[in-house]
Structures are given as structure tokens and as C-alpha cells.
Structure 1
Amino acid sequence: MSKESSVIAEQTLNVPLSEKSGGERTETLWTTSPDGSVKLRIDPSCSQSPITVHQMFLECVDRYGALDAMSSKRGGVWERVTYLEYYKLCRRAAKSFLKLGLGRFHSVGILGFNSPEWFISAVGTVFAGGITTGIYTTNSPEACHYVASDCQADIIVVENPKQLEKITQIWEKLPHLKAVVQYKGSLQEKQAHVYTWEEFMELGKDITDAHLDDIISAQKPNQCCVLIYTSGTTGIPKGVMLSHDNITWTAAHASRAGDMTPAEIQQETIVSYLPLSHIAGQIFDLWTGLKWGEHVYFADPGALKGTLVDTLREAQPTALMGVPRVWEKIMEQIKDVSAQAGLLRRKMLSWAMAVSLESNRSPPRNGDPKPFLPTLADFLVLSKIRRALGLSRCQKHFSGAAPVTTETLEFFLGLNITLYEAYGMSETSGPHCMSGPDTQRFQSCGKAVPGCQVKLVNKDADGNGEICFWGRTVFMGYLHMEDKTKEVFDDEGCLHSGDLGKMDADGFLQVTGRIKELLITAGGENVPPVLIEDAVKRQLAIVSTAVLIGDRRKFLSMLLTLKSTVDPDTSEPTDNLTQEAIRFCQDTGSKATTVSDIVGQKDQAVYRAIQGGIDKVNREAASNAQRIQKWIILAKDFSISGGEMGPTMKLKRQAILEKYKKEVDSFYKV
């Protein structure tokens, strides 16, 4: 850390906000109270003056007011809203929230798929002095109750009757809840304190502009305006408190590190489809859009069920954010289409991708012309694939929220698409480290955003240590959780991520695992599961997911799922193998076309091939303790609805161990 940074960091972290004589509050680097304020970690190298969300929006309107801000499809037609119209709608929503009784530093919960109403509700909540709190659409009524109760939601905005029903079931257990607003469709029955979107937007007509402006002017950059609830993969969900400065500073500086362009130079076009309750979607789609005047297209609610490409073709985004599973699904779709093509087309694609991959792994130096063969391959083959995906205008392709596999990175390099990895967490307002066109290294998540710092602690002999963060991305604290908040900060004010990583001499960071996921065998050896799991998937094209088992066990074992098609209506994995998986089976001499053909009949050809792939992985193992001794194929692939994945399709390891306890125990029976 710089000398100036250290001075800022030298605050007493083991006491919350306290009272000075005369009742004046003193600010420390963290708080767990929704009405608390914090000392900002301002680095002189990137010392933008702290501003509120409203100030950022005013700057946006001044610069981009006439530009399109949002486009959403209604009745098959794209409807557009300019930034000036967007701002006015947010003010109307803020007045209506105040009319319904939204208290200062109380929450508005938002439960629904991405839409203009989601954005307007989120910003309107902040204008009204409340705290925007997303609720995952996949949450059960019980999970909705936990969030709404914990954040003391005064109002909940829901998408449709299905989501309204969840809140109706738990309403009597939410003493703070004053009203619910449904933003799509008509109400199936009239209920007290339940409003349609149209009714809601008219409620605040008698709230004066002066009254709203007084509330807005009282807001401070170091106060809370957004709550992001963790998915609960490592315990009960925690409410991550983000300040105005967390949001406005990250929107400005992390996005520029990723080379997002201000609209006066080129208006970026993006497609919003990732859950806005998660920080990745919210910071990329909503807040960065406000900062730089982006044009946001809203995808169909079935985006992750297969309709995303349709929206991409219409919107023609210039930048796209995806979690690794989204990129993997696109990869699998391309492979399936290729597998059904004729021999000549398959050969052409294979040639073009091989040429592109080789070229992109060693790109020409600045000023050197691009070699002829990669240019030809792109013109003849690869550009057509990108056009079919709706990515012909896309200049920046980001991946975040979880590590992306080498196979996925190389596949997209073969399509002449570089995936720029971003790394951070809810507690860092999203991206703390960014890759971009000018800051990219293979299998690295880039460098710390300018003005932010990363350090590694407790490093091992290979240079792996726990990743710690410092900067204005770092959150305020966990709502009402003082002990949990104290656990993640050290005496310098650095946030401990719980992730393991290594850093090269140029400052590029590579995430190598997670401390809580680290397996410690009965013999005391530390084993990073992700590296071994990825190695298995690289060897075996039929494998969809690999989960390594072995914590406190005598040896390592593994759960495997096979690549299968997905039901477009339910997003549930089916029994049918993908074309890529079928081709794998054919190469082994098997005629299997379904998962049950393999698992139910214990298809010997496929089982031998899988064992052969695992044998190859074992031969490259760092030690005998890191070799996979036993494995089993599960009858169904993992899914969000199955409980094995979180809302962003990240593996929920503990849930998997509990669900498949019988299978795991069978590995270790004497």
C-alpha cells in the first residue's frame, strides 16, 4: 500500500460507529447499521470526488439526456426510453414510494426478471432515501421471507402473479411490509395494499418536487443505498451493504478498466439478462449504464432457457457480460450444431478455429499486420458464426462471478473472441480486478482496477495466498452482522476474500481456488478441487460437471454428470445427450444417446473411456494424494431447480454433498 493509503487504512476496525461527545458520530471503515456511514478508502492515484447516485444520474442526463437508455419488447415491438424520460420516471417512482411510507434507510425489495420497471424501482428507491434490495426470482417463499425480514422491506415490487403469490404467503410474517407493487400483467384479484405498476406510478402526485429534493440533498456518498444478498452457498445469506460511493466509483473506474466507452465517443449497447439481484448483472447493466450513457436492451425472461441469442441478434450488443456457465452453454450449442453439419463444414470449422487459436495465443505486435491465414479463416467461417450469435458488433466479451475453464477460453479464442475475465465479489461491488483489450493475459482475471489494491497473505511455496482487497469498491459491512463483518477485515482495513490466488511480476492475478473449498485429505494434504475438476473436463468431452470429493477422507473420489440437452420450458436437464456427447460415445464404439443408456446399463465402452481420461489426469497429478481413486456418473445433470447450482449457476458444493450423500458414502465403505 502507498503511504497515503496506509494513513487512511489506519483506523480502528474492531469497533463499529461510535458517539463522540455531543452526539456526533465518528466514522470507521465499516458499519453494520443501515443508517450508518463509513470512512472511504480514497487512494490519491484515483481520487474522484465522492458523489451520490442522484448526482451521477444528473451528470448522465446533462450529457446523454436525449439518447436512448432502455429498450424493452412489448407485443413484439421494441419500446424505447431516453435518459431524460428515465430520470423523470425514477422521480415519479420515488414519490410513490414515499407516499406508500418508505422510511429512510428502509428497503424496497425487487422480485422479478430484468425490465425497465426493475431499473426504475431500484433508482427510485435510492432517490427516496431507501435501500434497493434485489430478491432472486428462484427464491422460495421462505427464502423471500428471510431477505424481506432481514432488510425490513417496507415495500416489495414483484414481476407477476407467480411472484406475488410468494409474498402473499408470507405477508403476515412481515410486520414492516406496507405495500406490494406488481409490474407486469393485471392483478388476478383485488387485494388491499397491492397495486399495479400504473396505479403505483400515480400514487405520488401530491408529493412535491421540493420535498423529494430535500430527501435527495440529505444523502451522502458514504451512506448505504444498495443491499446485495449472498446466495448462501457457504452459510445463511448475508446482506452486503454498498454505499453510493461504492456504486458510483465502481461504475466509473472498473468499467473504464474494461474499456467501456462513454456515449459521446460511442454509445455502448448491452443486453440485460443476468439476475439483477446479483452484483455482476446490477453493476454492469444498471449502474455502469447510468455512468456512461449505455443503451440497455432487456432480454426475454426465457433468456437462460435459450432465447438469449434471439435478443443478441436484434440488439447487436457492443459488450456482453456472461457467467462461465453461459459461455459454456453457447460453446456446447455451437458444438452440437457443428456435430450435425456435413463433413466439409466440420472440417472448415475445425481448420478455422485451429488457425484462430494459434494466432490469438501469440498475437502480432502493435503495428504488425495480421497474418493472412487467420484473416481468411475469420472472413470465410468465424465471422459467420459470430453473426449467427448476434455478436458481430461485440467488441468486449466479459466473464465473471466464477472461474472460467481453459477449455472455454480456448474455444472462444478459436472463434476470434477473447473472454476478458473480471474478478471480485459482492463485497467489492463486483469487479475489483479487470481484464480488457489493453490489460489481458491468458488465464488471468487482469489487474486491480486503478485506485484499488490487491495483496496475497499466507502464501505457500508456489506463491498461492489468500486474496485481499483494498479500495473504494470495498463494501460497508454485512447488515446486522457485526461478527461476520469483523471476520473479513484485517487491521489495515483489507477485505479477506476467502479465495486463493497467485500474482505475476506484472500484477496479473490468477484465482486458483477457494479456501473453504480446499480439500484437506486425511493425510493432511491440501488439494485445490477446481484445477483437478477442470483437468477432467478437458480430457472428457462428455462430462458436464465434475465435483471432487475428499475432505478429511483417505483418498479422492469424484461425482460426474454428463452433457445433456435442456428442456427449453423448464430449464431442467433432460435424459437426452447433447450431440457432442453422442459423438464421444460413438468414438468409443457405444450407441448410447441418453444418460440412462449409459448409467442404467453401465455402458462398458463409455465407462472405459471415462476411466482412461481420469487415468491421464492422474498421471499428471502433483502427488499420489491428488489422484482420483473412484468415481460415479449421476443420473441427471446439475441445475438451479435441482438445488446443485446457485442463481448465477455456480456450484453449491455443500448442497451437492448433502443431496448425494449416499453416493459419496459408497466410495468409502470398507
Structure 2
Amino acid sequence: MALKRPSLGNMSSVDLEDEECTDVQLALADCLWTTARDGAVRLRMEETGIAAEPPITTLQLFQRTVQLCGNKPALATKRGGQWETTTYLQYYQQCRAAAKSFLLLGLEPFHGVGILGFNSAEWFIADIGAIMAGGLAVGIYATSSPEACQYVAANCEANVLVVENHQQLVKILEIEDQLPHLKAIVQYHDELNEERAGLYTWKDFMELGTGVPDSKLDNIIASRKANQCCTLIYTSGTTGRPKGVMLSHDNITWVTKAFGESLNLTDNEVTVSYLPLSHVAAQILDIWIPICFGGTTYFANPDALKGTLVSTLQEVRPTTFFGVPRVWEKIQEKMKDMGSKSSFIKQKISSWAKKIGLGANYNRMNGINSTPWGYALADSLVFQRVKTALGLDRCSTCLTGAAPISRDTIEYFLSLDIPLLVGYGMSECAGPHTVSLHEAFRTSSCGRCLVGCMIRIHQPQEDGAGEICYWGRHVFMGYLNMPEMTMEALDEEGWLHSGDLGKLDQDGFLYVTGRIKELVITAGGENVPPVPIEDALKEELPIISNAMLVGDQRKFLSMLLTLKCTVDVDTGEPQDDLTAEAIQFCQQLGSSATRVSEVIGTKDPAIYEVIQEAMDRVNQKALSNAQKVQKWAILGKDFSIAGGELGPTLKLKRPVVLSMYEKVIDGFYVS
């Protein structure tokens, strides 16, 4: 479609001086890595293809989109029951205003601006404003403790911290005296409970820099180079202190374009922002891909993961939606629960349609250009209705990633004609490295490598599995102030070692089989990847919520299990009550249990027996006796973010669980 060039209002001529953003300037660098905040790297450019495209900064990318899409809605926030939109031109101007205010507050070059809170337009504006002002944008998980906030803010030498509300402000005030570089705090929602020097409301903050000359900001923007750092992504710290992953402008702009083009995204994309923006996936998908392609980002309610997400999806009807595996699993559980309450006829129709849908998608996967008989009727009676009920009737790109997803969940959504495209990568490669596509996917695979990137399997074993290594323009600069850790991640040739184990098939599809640091190494020296065994058991038992394999340096393997239970919508805490799906499962076995405590307290014979039978079936498929699970226990409480067992993206924190349930685990091995 033809895009009308907007009026640039009061934007100076310097802002958009180069309409095509072809003025490529790089800071001098002869090394692929650096750990200095103001350092620069040699880009991994190729001679042809997408990896040869001229590098640009994130700010040049933004300017280009403002030129093309300035009057289009960029952001949408719900206020008073109505969606209010911000155009790209307004968005850009607000980022400039924030940048000027950061400068007035004393933001120094390549020092951090920490942002602590739930997704919002203010979060985006603070992030990009920090980059415009020459600082480093730094997301901090909203669930972080004061101690975790202090570590990140001190590590990036944050000059300014932007917090959502009083609850987050209290965390910062508690550790403020331990932040020698901190000059100001900005609260972007609600009124301040107190007035004090260096503390600002969002409104006051945005007006602070009014007197800063445009020319000063323009000069800083022009001085930024594509091979310099603009953003820090802090790792979750489950295996040690969090590391500040330095992402360059080129890392972000290049991977955004490569990933978006792989997915055939257009300038009409609509997405919903709800996952933690301190995570690289949310930043790429919510902030930078919309900017790259001129799409619109809608902000979900802060309680999205407590039950309001689907209602937001129904209103927004996104064209692109990303859900971590646990989000898709929760949707699956809810739909199964609703299906179990349907009439006999509706259940029969649904079952028939799902077989059609699964067959159609397996045909597509196998390159068979035909659909099973009855597909059109199944689509009309079931698929379209389900998609509409979920708010996904316009969604052509349903993505998942950030943690392993079970084959059962993939096949469930395939049966509803909702293919989940699996992305795989890490913070150190600015998000995605492989992705499944509608025309190229395998149910147990993470897809193929992005065009312009490469995969190498390091030290493959007999089955072809080894450590997955990455190469591409998206590979990070290094860990801030951590040269030794950086050199552990990057080898002498510059390949990024992921720490994940996997293998490639003859068609180039990647299969991740485990993580080196998560490998359970038995006392006999057998290396056991836990995820395949855990997933196999969960597929056997719909009552199981989480499963974690243990047995490192032990004589045999054991497993910790949790049952599917309800969750307190306000706190996110797992409850004792079983879910409707779990109760139905119990009833089918002849058990009257409705609570986790009932199952454990009575060692419910029906439940314990069916779990053991499922474990026996999983053990029959084990590659060796050392990979068989000999003991297991049901825990009294499910894993959760609130409990500390799950990270912000719902990934299992294995070291935390090992520590919390040390006595239970030791009990497995008492003679």
C-alpha cells in the first residue's frame, strides 16, 4: 500500500536529514567482542544477502518509520474503557522529550536508565529516550527483589531509574544509598506519595527538558554508531550473578529485519504486549518489530497472566501473538475444561474436527498439497469459532519460545488449525536464531536457522547431538565488565556457544535435546538430558503440571511432580484446589479427590497407581537403564513465579527447586 508521508511538525531538519538512512558510520573496531560500555565491535558482515545489508542504528530505523508511517497508530493504551492511540510521529516526539529530560537530569554517555514496571507506553518511551540521549536502556524485571534491583542498577551505573508505581518505588528507596551513580527517580503511573528532591512524576519529567536545544539532542543521536551498545539485557541469574548482555544497534536492527522478513510480516501487524519487557523476546517483538514494519502495539492489563489476557486478545484481535509455552498450556487446559462441559454432540463434532485439523497440518508439514475431506466444514464449525473465542481469528503468526514446549501442546493447537511457530535463541543473540515457518516446520523442532545466520554443532556425539553454536550479525557484543565470562561464551573464531545440546536433521531443522548445565550426570557418569523425560511423562498424564528430573551424582534418577491446581488471581500463588481438568481426570479413575492435599495425604491409590503406570511406560522408552526414573514424589504446591521456582518467562529455575526440596530429594536416596 502507498504510505502517506506525514507532516514533521516541529521536528528539526537534522532529525530526518537522510531520508533513506544510508549514511552508515561505524566506530573503529577490529574485534568481534568488547566488555566496555563505550566499546565498539567489528560487525559480522557478509558479502551478499541479508547479512550484507548496510547497518543502521535503532534511531535511524525509528526515523525511517516515522517518515513512512508517521500518521499511523504505533501504540494503543486502554483508558476509561476506551483504546487511545499514539501515532508514530507523536511517539517519536515523546521519545525526544524524554531524551531531553534525561540529559537535563545528568544522564552520562553509556550509563544506564533502569526501567522497572509493567508494559506501557511510558516503558517504551523511557527505553528509546534513554538510547536517544546516549545512555543504555536497561529493563529490570518487575518481580525483582530490592537486592536484585540494586545489583542491576549498580552494574550498569544507572543515572536514572524509571519505576511504575509506589510499590516499585519502595524497592528503590530501600537500596537508594547503595547506588552511587543514581541522580533521579521517575514514577510513571499514579501520584507520588511524597515529594522529595530527585523524585519526579511522569508528567513533570516529560516537561523537564523543554529548554534543552534540539541541536544538542540531534548531535548525540547523530554520534551513535551501529556497532556500539544501546541496550543491556540482564540474564535471569539462575546459575550465578546476572550478566549484562550488551546488544548493539546493529544486533537489534538486523535481527528485527531478518526475523520479520522470515515471518512475512507487513505494515498492518497488530500485537499485544504483556510479557516482561526486560526479556529480549518481548523487546524485539513488542518494541522493535512494530517499529521496523510500522505495526501497532496494544498494551494488556497488568493482570494479563492472571486471567484477563484472552479478553484483551478478543478486543484487539492481533495479527501476531507470542506466548511462552506455559501461556499456551494454560489456554489448552482452559479449553479442555470448557470442552468437557459441552454436550455429547458438541464433543463428538470437536473430536472429529480435531482429527481433520491435525491431518491437514501434518500434510502441510510433509509437503502434501491437499487437505483431508471435510476440512472446510470443520473449519466453519470448529476452527473459526475457536479462533474467534480466543481473539486469534486475524492472527496469522502464533509464536512460542523462551522455554521448551511439549509435543502434546504443539499437536493440540495444530488440531485446531493454529500452528505454533517455535522460535529458538537467547539474549546473547538478540532473541531468535531459528524459527519454524508455516511452510517449513517439524513438530519437535525449533525450525531452521534465520537467513544470514549459521549453526554449528560443537563436538557431536554418535547420535549427532552436541553443543549448539551460533554465528550471525545478531551475536552480542559481550557481557558488561565481564571479559572472562564473555570469552567463555565466545570462542576464538567468534562463535557463540549456547550451552544447549541439539542436533540438525538432513533438512536443516534444529532439535534441542537439553542444556549442558541442566544435564543430570549420574554417579555412573551417564549424561541425561532431563527435558525429554519430563515432557514424556507430562504427555502421559494430563493431571501433571510440572515435572523435574533429579539425580545429579546419584545412583539413580528420581522425579519431583506437581499437580494442576487453581491459582490466586491476585497473587499468582498456586492453591490447594485441583483444576477442573484434574478433578475430571481423578473422577475417571474413581477418585473423589478435589485437592492436592487430599491426593498426597491419602496417597490416593488410583492417582498414585496411574502415575506409576505412566512412569513405567516412559521408562520402557529409555535409552538405557541409567535413564530410567526409579522414584518420584508429588509436591504439596505447584511451581510459580511467586514461589520462586519459575522465572519471569515461566522457565523452571532448577537450582532453586533443588535447594527448596533438598530434604525430599535426599529422601529418595536413603537406603
TM-score (structure 1 length as normaliser): 0.94
Instruction: List aligned pairs for 1:12-411, cutoff 5 A.
Output: 26-44=29-47, 45-46=49-50, 47-261=52-266, 263=267, 267-363=268-364, 368=369, 370-411=371-412
CA deviations 1:353-395 (Å, max 9, x no partner) are: 1221122112398895533312211211221111111001100
The whole-number CA distance in structure 2 between the counterparts of 1:157 and 1:93 is 11
For 1:618, the equivalent position in structure 2 comes to 619
How much identity, in percent, do the aligned residues show? 56
Q: Which amino acid aligns with 1:147?
A: V
The whole-number CA distance in structure 1 between the counterparts of 2:542 and 2:610 is 11
The whole-number CA distance in structure 2 between the counterparts of 1:176 and 1:397 is 42
Does the CA-based 8 Å contact 2:387-2:393 persist in structure 1? yes
Cα distance, 1:443 vs structure 2: 1.6
Q: Which amino acid aligns with 1:76?
A: G
CA deviations 1:477-523 (Å, max 9, x no partner) are: 00111110011111210000000011011211111110111111111
Instruction: List aligned pairs for 1:229-628, cutoff 5 A.
Output: 229-261=234-266, 263=267, 267-363=268-364, 368=369, 370-628=371-629
Query: Could you say what secondary structure the match of 2:301 adopts?
Result: coil
Cα distance, 1:283 vs structure 2: 0.6
CA deviations 1:90-123 (Å, max 9, x no partner) are: 1011000000000000010000111000111111
Does the CA-based 8 Å contact 2:363-2:370 persist in structure 1? no
For 2:16, the equivalent position in structure 1 comes to none
The whole-number CA distance in structure 2 between the counterparts of 1:274 and 1:333 is 20
462 and 369 in structure 1: CA distance in 2 versus 1, 3 angstrom threshold: closer
Does the CA-based 8 Å contact 2:521-2:551 persist in structure 1? yes
The whole-number CA distance in structure 2 between the counterparts of 1:366 and 1:448 is 19
The whole-number CA distance in structure 2 between the counterparts of 1:367 and 1:514 is 34
Query: Could you say what secondary structure the match of 1:401 adopts?
Result: coil
Stretch deviating more after TM superposition (463-472 or 567-576): 567-576
The whole-number CA distance in structure 2 between the counterparts of 1:366 and 1:82 is 42
Q: Which amino acid aligns with 1:33?
A: A
Query: Could you say what secondary structure the match of 1:372 adopts?
Result: coil
Q: Which amino acid aligns with 1:498?
A: G
The whole-number CA distance in structure 2 between the counterparts of 1:83 and 1:464 is 46
The whole-number CA distance in structure 1 between the counterparts of 2:384 and 2:88 is 33
Stretch deviating more after TM superposition (333-342 or 466-475): 333-342
361 and 367 in structure 1: CA distance in 2 versus 1, 3 angstrom threshold: closer
The whole-number CA distance in structure 2 between the counterparts of 1:28 and 1:364 is 42
Cα distance, 1:271 vs structure 2: 0.4
Cα distance, 1:571 vs structure 2: 1.4
Does the CA-based 8 Å contact 2:300-2:309 persist in structure 1? yes
The whole-number CA distance in structure 1 between the counterparts of 2:29 and 2:298 is 43
Stretch deviating more after TM superposition (357-366 or 165-174): 357-366
Query: Could you say what secondary structure the match of 1:281 adopts?
Result: helix
The whole-number CA distance in structure 2 between the counterparts of 1:60 and 1:97 is 24
CA deviations 1:51-85 (Å, max 9, x no partner) are: 11111011101111111001001121111000011
Does the CA-based 8 Å contact 1:228-1:426 persist in structure 2? yes
Does the CA-based 8 Å contact 2:233-2:279 persist in structure 1? yes
Cα distance, 1:447 vs structure 2: 1.3
Query: Could you say what secondary structure the match of 1:134 adopts?
Result: strand
Q: Which amino acid aligns with 1:382?
A: F
CA deviations 1:162-210 (Å, max 9, x no partner) are: 0011111111111111001111111111121111110000000110110
For 1:15, the equivalent position in structure 2 comes to none
Cα distance, 1:338 vs structure 2: 1.5
The whole-number CA distance in structure 1 between the counterparts of 2:553 and 2:148 is 31
Does the CA-based 8 Å contact 2:106-2:159 persist in structure 1? yes
The whole-number CA distance in structure 1 between the counterparts of 2:353 and 2:428 is 41
Does the CA-based 8 Å contact 1:258-1:435 persist in structure 2? no
Q: Which amino acid aligns with 1:288?
A: I
Stretch deviating more after TM superposition (644-653 or 380-389): 380-389
Query: Could you say what secondary structure the match of 1:79 adopts?
Result: strand
Does the CA-based 8 Å contact 2:574-2:640 persist in structure 1? yes
Stretch deviating more after TM superposition (280-289 or 249-258): 249-258
The whole-number CA distance in structure 2 between the counterparts of 1:568 and 1:260 is 34
CA deviations 1:259-308 (Å, max 9, x no partner) are: 222x1xxx100001110000010111101111001111000000111110
Does the CA-based 8 Å contact 1:456-1:465 persist in structure 2? yes
CA deviations 1:313-335 (Å, max 9, x no partner) are: 11100010111111111111111
For 2:13, the equivalent position in structure 1 comes to none
Query: Could you say what secondary structure the match of 1:363 adopts?
Result: helix
State how many pairs are aligned. 643
Q: Is it true that 1:657 corresponds to 2:658 in the alignment?
A: yes
Unaligned runs of 5+ in 1: 1-23
Does the CA-based 8 Å contact 1:542-1:581 persist in structure 2? yes
547 and 366 in structure 1: CA distance in 2 versus 1, 3 angstrom threshold: closer
Q: Which amino acid aligns with 1:220?
A: K
Stretch deviating more after TM superposition (660-669 or 428-437): 428-437
Q: Is it true that 1:667 corresponds to 2:668 in the alignment?
A: yes
Q: Which amino acid aligns with 1:352?
A: A
Unaligned runs of 5+ in 2: 1-26
Query: Could you say what secondary structure the match of 2:182 adopts?
Result: coil
TM-score (structure 2 length as normaliser): 0.94
Does the CA-based 8 Å contact 2:364-2:439 persist in structure 1? no
Does the CA-based 8 Å contact 1:382-1:416 persist in structure 2? yes
Cα distance, 1:226 vs structure 2: 0.2
Does the CA-based 8 Å contact 1:43-1:471 persist in structure 2? no
Does the CA-based 8 Å contact 1:259-1:436 persist in structure 2? no
Does the CA-based 8 Å contact 1:270-1:319 persist in structure 2? yes
Q: Which amino acid aligns with 1:30?
A: W
Q: CA RMSD in A?
A: 1.3
Q: Which amino acid aligns with 2:83?
A: W
For 1:16, the equivalent position in structure 2 comes to none
Does the CA-based 8 Å contact 2:523-2:555 persist in structure 1? yes
Query: Could you say what secondary structure the match of 1:362 adopts?
Result: helix
For 1:646, the equivalent position in structure 2 comes to 647
Does the CA-based 8 Å contact 1:289-1:296 persist in structure 2? yes
580 and 372 in structure 1: CA distance in 2 versus 1, 3 angstrom threshold: same
Query: Could you say what secondary structure the match of 1:215 adopts?
Result: helix
